[in-house]
Amino acid sequence: MNRTPRSNRAFNLNPAVVARLGVAAIALFVVACQTPAAAPPASPSVPPIAIGNPSTPPAPSADPSADPTTPAPTPKPKPIPQVRSVAWSKPVTIKGLETCRDLVLAVDERGVSHLAGTCGMTATEIRYATSPDGKTWTTTVLEPPADRQELEPQLAFSGNTLYLAYTRVAPSDGACGDDGLEDLGVHVRSRTLPGGDWSEPTQVGKTADHLRSFRADGTVLHATVTNEKDGSTAYEVLTGGALARHVIRDAIGGTALRVGDDGKGRVAYETAKGINYGMVANGTFTSATIPGSKDGWNPVLTLVSGNVAYVAWTRSDHGDGCIDGGPQPVNATFFATNASGTWVTRRVTTMIGAMSMTVDSASGEVNLAISDTRRLVRFHGQPGTDWAHETVSRDAGMFPVLRQDPTNGTFVLAFVGEPGEAPDDIQVKVMIGG
């Protein structure tokens, strides 16, 4: 069975491979693109995570008429502000995150940064780091059980609760098309901010699932997963202990998930026809292909007020399996939005690589961080206008993830610095832009 390779299961430094490896670094779950809800008073205990039954029938949509192809009404025109120039700090190396990749980053409403990654030269464990200012970091190693590995982390906020979701695997014999890791399901931990301890992990969903993306909305958990045994991708919603599982039948690769103002999840994902965008409508997952997205993969997604979608993706040859062939598309990065009531797609740049996106909460400016292993560049602009860009770092900048501090509007950019010959040369670095 053909499966999309997981970025954290091998740390191959070939530039073409690393560009492909950016799928999981984006995360996917990213989490902090939406401003967290106001935090209730801190609680000394972490709320338990209810376990759902994967066989539970999907609950009907609260809005049977919901249609992912009909976006929210067009907002009233506003003056387009000029793009904001950003001065970046020197990169800070985070101690304890050597050999880490597949980074995910979230910034809470107090301005505290939370970062997690898959670490170890053989992708053995997840490490978590937190910082009040982007300069001083505290790192925790979340050790997996014996003979197990944990990878593909995602972070999500719900009030003053921080969730960490990930895939647990067991090493096995691999072969061509088989990465040699047996999936043991998606697991979730949580902690109460600011000072609570991590809860014990709880499995959610089927045993053969591995995690694609993850979000939290109140007490409801949202995730996309791919099942190792049957190859299917599904969108899951865990509500009060009941798990609704909606199969995304035409998905063949990466997914990106966000939860809208209405509490409903939206998913952008790769298909054989291009990038699709969809949601659950009338109890069934329904989607449509974004125009101009043929040969697209590695989608990233952000929702802004009114459930308006911003989607970016990579167009390049990315064939799976042991043998690739056929004509190759022209490499480029694209951006699309349905803000006008119909999808409008534009090319951002011919540069491709690992990618992360966030939207400036004050100006509405879209920000894309793209790394091609030689440089890390920030592209930015208002939807429908030309893109400005600046080189943020020439220190390789693999697995970039870009977020914004809601307390002061500054940007937090984490990435893996240029690796050397020794394992400890693989460093996670953070830059602050404001």
- As given in the structure block, the two tokens for residue 149 are 């590995």
The alpha carbon of residue 129 and the mean position of all alpha carbons in its chain are separated, in whole angstroms, by: 17
Identify which has the larger pLDDT, 344 or 322. 344
| Average pLDDT score over residue span 339-355 | 96
Please give the mean pLDDT across all residues of the chain: 82
Q: Is the pLDDT of residue 178 over 80?
A: no
Q: How far apart (Å, rounded) are the C-alpha atoms in residues 117 and 129?
A: 9
**Bridge partners of 248?**
233
Residue 416 burial (C-beta neighbours within 10 Å; 0-12, 13-18, 19+): buried
| Average pLDDT score over residue span 257-264 | 97
Q: What is the pLDDT of residues 67-111, one digit of tens each?
A: 444 454 544 444 444 567 899 999 999 999 999 989 999 999 999
**Residues above pLDDT 90, as percent of the chain:** 66
Which residues, other chains included, contact 327 with Cβ-Cβ below 8 Å and sequence gap of 6+?
Answer: none
Q: How far apart (Å, rounded) are the C-alpha atoms in residues 114 and 33?
A: 13
Strands across the sheet containing 296-304:
296-304, 308-315, 332-337, 344-349
Q: Is the pLDDT of residue 329 over 50?
A: yes
Q: Which amino acid is at 22?
A: G
**Bridge partners of 393?**
376
Q: How far apart (Å, rounded) are the C-alpha atoms in residues 375 and 16?
A: 14
**Least confident span in 147-161, 303-317, 323-337:** 323-337
Q: Place 2 in a pLDDT band, splitting at 50, 70 and 90.
A: very low
Residue 196 burial (C-beta neighbours within 10 Å; 0-12, 13-18, 19+): middle
| Average pLDDT score over residue span 137-154 | 95
Residue found by looking up tokens 């609704």 in the block: 244
Position 149 scores a pLDDT of 94
Q: What is the pLDDT of residues 23-55, one digit of tens each?
A: 333 333 333 333 333 333 333 333 445 434 343
Position 94 scores a pLDDT of 96
Q: Which amino acid is at 218?
A: G
Domain segments of the chain as ranges: 15-433
Residue 256: enclosing H or E segment and its boundaries? strand 255-259
Position 51 scores a pLDDT of 39
Q: Place 181 in a pLDDT band, splitting at 50, 70 and 90.
A: confident
Q: For the whole model, what pTM was predicted?
A: 0.81
Position 77 scores a pLDDT of 45
**Closest to 149 (Cα-Cα) out of 183, 176, 200, 102:** 183
The DSSP letter of residue 7 is T
Q: What is the pLDDT of residues 220-247, one digit of tens each?
A: 999 999 999 999 999 999 999 899 999 9
Position 235 scores a pLDDT of 98
- Sign of the four-CA dihedral 190, 192, 194, 198: negative
The DSSP letter of residue 287 is E
Q: How far apart (Å, rounded) are the C-alpha atoms in residues 23 and 52?
A: 27
Residue found by looking up tokens 């590695």 in the block: 298
Do the Cβ atoms of 365 and 84 come closer than 8 Å? yes
Count helices and strands (H / E) in the chain: 2, 28
CATH of region 15-433: 2.120.10.10
HEC profile for 305-348?
A: CCCEEEEEEEECCCCCCCCCCCCCCCCEEEEEECCCCCCEEEEE
Q: Which amino acid is at 115?
A: L
